[in-house]
Amino acid sequence: MRFGATRSGTLTFLSASLVFVVCSALPPTARAQAAFDGKYRCVRVEVDQKAAKCQSPPLVLNRDGSYEIWGEHGTYEVVQGRWLVLSHSKRRGLGHFVSVGEIVFEYKIDGNRCRVTFRQLYDPPPGFIWG
């Protein structure tokens, strides 16, 4: 009996150790980025502090570190859990996370200050019915 309990405990320890080793093998950037992956929709646009119609396509941050938006495809990096760096975004600059699931880009176009806010879309769990 005692052998069985020890063996079960050893298996549990080995399983937990394996999970730790696998997670530790992922680069820190990949682990951090996985927390931010998903689809974000444009919810607000301001040009010189005046609201404008939001016509931006969704920003898609993929788990593998790639992104898509405004016809751009590239890689992204989350720096210090706060800043979003898009590899091919020349005009829009850095995005920053103002809260969980909310990203703001601030940049200038023709001397006008633009601020575009994106909010993460969440898919309901399988089988969930709204209403």
pLDDT at 109: 86
pLDDT in tens, 113-129: 999 999 999 877 778 77
For the cut 90, the answer to whether the pLDDT of residue 100 exceeds it is no
- SS3 helix, strand, coil % of the chain, rounded to 5? 25, 40, 35
How many angstroms separate the CA atoms of 72 and 58, rounded? 12
Q: Find out whether 114 and 107 touch, Cβ atoms under 8 Å.
A: yes
pLDDT in tens, 22-76: 334 444 444 445 578 999 999 999 999 899 888 889 999 999 999 998 888 899 9
Q: How confident is the model at residue 91 (pLDDT cuts 50, 70, 90)?
A: low
How many angstroms separate the CA atoms of 98 and 111, rounded? 24
